[in-house]
């Protein structure tokens, strides 16, 4: 990628991360009705833990000392990840992959709103208006109270809430805690919780096809994580962040070609509103952050 600007490299890495995460979702969705939810999370988690342990070892993450305060935050973050994984896969098993992905695109809006409500971060009326319009877009997708309403659409909405808490808690982590340590600890806790869930549930004998799908899902999850970490270290986040919405395009393509699914008109309109307001919110956050950086310079 020599000769390519950092921003373009960062954008390419963000697209790669979104493709990896969404392809993982497709592999998991194929297993719907074939393998129980907790078994999917457990087997995929084992493979993910092995791969992350290897990467953590070579990256030197094990040599870093983590304070008790950070371990508590990592534990809370992992607990939210457990809830998010269960609800997300439940939705994925019962809903079109594009619809699930569309609702999850509201995450940047929810994080911005939660940051203002709970962390005292300032947001202007334009961003607040965009957030409210974006949430109206989510309502167009799920359409509560109509004949098109699917009760399972509540699950991705709850995922947005839980992941918002996860992302806000991550802001409290010390800057010296390696991202790989957080990822590995989270993967271990999620896998252990899935194993506990399996104790009172059903275990299905997996064939080569199922093991292959779960193994590929784990590889794409780890790939998505690594690409996302590289993304945050390459280029300007304000330029790169909007490329996260490519996950919706990938989900729509996979839904059409793999699962013979296509969103209805209202879902497409709602998705467009969520993406547009999310991109606008990211743009306004960049403008606000840039203005704050320039104020000290002007005062000189």
118-131 residue pLDDT tens: 878 778 888 899 99
Does the structure show a pLDDT above 90 at 250? yes
Ranking 37-46, 144-153, 284-293 by mean pLDDT, the lowest is: 284-293
Considering only residues 166 and 128, tell me which one the structure prediction assigns the higher pLDDT. 128
Which tokens in the block code for residue 226?
């690594």
The predicted pLDDT at position 299 comes to 47
Does the structure show a pLDDT above 90 at 4? no
How far, in Å, CA of 161 to CA of 155, rounded? Answer: 10
* Residue 1 is assigned to a structural domain of this protein: no
Are 137 and 271 spatial neighbours (Cβ–Cβ below 8 Å)?
yes
Ranking 187-191, 206-210, 281-285 by mean pLDDT, the lowest is: 281-285
Counting the structural domains of the chain, the total is: 1
The predicted pLDDT at position 153 comes to 93
Are 50 and 139 spatial neighbours (Cβ–Cβ below 8 Å)?
no
* Residue 130 is assigned to a structural domain of this protein: yes
CB neighbour burial string for 93-124, b if at least 16 within 10 angstroms, e if fewer: bbbbbbbbbbbbbbbbbbbbbbbeeeeeeebe
pLDDT band at 23 (very low <50, low <70, confident <90, very high): very high
Q: How far is CA 99 from CA 139, 164, 224, 247, in A?
A: 12, 19, 20, 12
* Residue 231 is assigned to a structural domain of this protein: yes
The predicted pLDDT at position 3 comes to 55
The predicted pLDDT at position 285 comes to 75
How far, in Å, CA of 195 to CA of 191, rounded? Answer: 6
* Residue 172 is assigned to a structural domain of this protein: yes
Ranking 30-39, 127-136, 144-153, 189-198 by mean pLDDT, the lowest is: 144-153
Enclosing domain of residue 33 = 6-299
The predicted pLDDT at position 295 comes to 54
Does the structure show a pLDDT above 90 at 275? yes
Are 184 and 49 spatial neighbours (Cβ–Cβ below 8 Å)?
yes
Does the structure show a pLDDT above 60 at 206? yes
* Residue 32 is assigned to a structural domain of this protein: yes
Model confidence pTM above 0.85: yes
User: For the chain, percent helix, then strand, then coil, each to nearest 5?
Assistant: 80, 0, 20
Are 121 and 167 spatial neighbours (Cβ–Cβ below 8 Å)?
no
The answer for 93, left when phi > 0, alpha when psi is -120 to 50, beta otherwise, is alpha
How far, in Å, CA of 207 to CA of 288, rounded? Answer: 53
Phi, psi of 234 (to 5 degrees): -135, 120
Considering only residues 1 and 200, tell me which one the structure prediction assigns the higher pLDDT. 200
């Amino acid at each position: 990628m020599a000769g390519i600007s950092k921003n373009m490299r960062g954008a390419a890495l963000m697209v790669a991360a979104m493709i990896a995460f969404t392809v993982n979702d497709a592999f998991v969705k194929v297993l719907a009705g074939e393998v129980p939810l907790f078994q999917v999370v457990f087997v995929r988690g084992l493979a993910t833990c092995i791969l992350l342990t290897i990467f953590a070892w070579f990256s030197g993450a094990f040599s870093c000392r983590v304070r008790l305060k950070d371990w508590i935050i990592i534990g809370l973050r992992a607990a939210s990840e457990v809830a998010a994984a269960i609800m997300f896969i439940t939705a994925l098993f019962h809903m079109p992959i594009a619809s699930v992905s569309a609702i999850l695109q509201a995450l940047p809006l929810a994080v911005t709103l939660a940051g203002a409500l709970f962390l005292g971060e300032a947001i202007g009326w334009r961003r607040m208006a965009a957030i409210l319009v974006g949430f109206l877009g989510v309502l167009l997708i799920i359409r509560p109270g109509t004949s098109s309403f699917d009760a399972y659409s509540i699950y991705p909405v709850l995922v947005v809430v839980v992941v918002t808490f996860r992302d806000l808690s991550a802001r409290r982590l010390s800057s010296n805690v390696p991202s790989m340590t957080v990822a590995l600890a989270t993967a271990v806790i999620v896998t252990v919780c899935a194993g506990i869930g399996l104790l009172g549930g059903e275990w299905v004998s997996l064939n080569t096809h199922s093991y292959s799908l779960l193994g590929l899902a784990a590889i794409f999850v780890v790939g998505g994580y690594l690409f996302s970490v590289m993304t945050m270290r390459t280029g300007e986040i304000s330029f790169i962040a909007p490329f996260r919405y490519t996950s919706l395009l990938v989900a729509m393509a996979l839904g059409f070609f793999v699962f013979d699914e296509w969103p209805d008109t209202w879902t497409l309109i709602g998705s467009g509103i969520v993406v547009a307001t999310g991109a606008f919110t990211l743009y306004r956050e960049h403008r606000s952050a840039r203005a704050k950086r320039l104020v000290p310079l002007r005062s000189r």
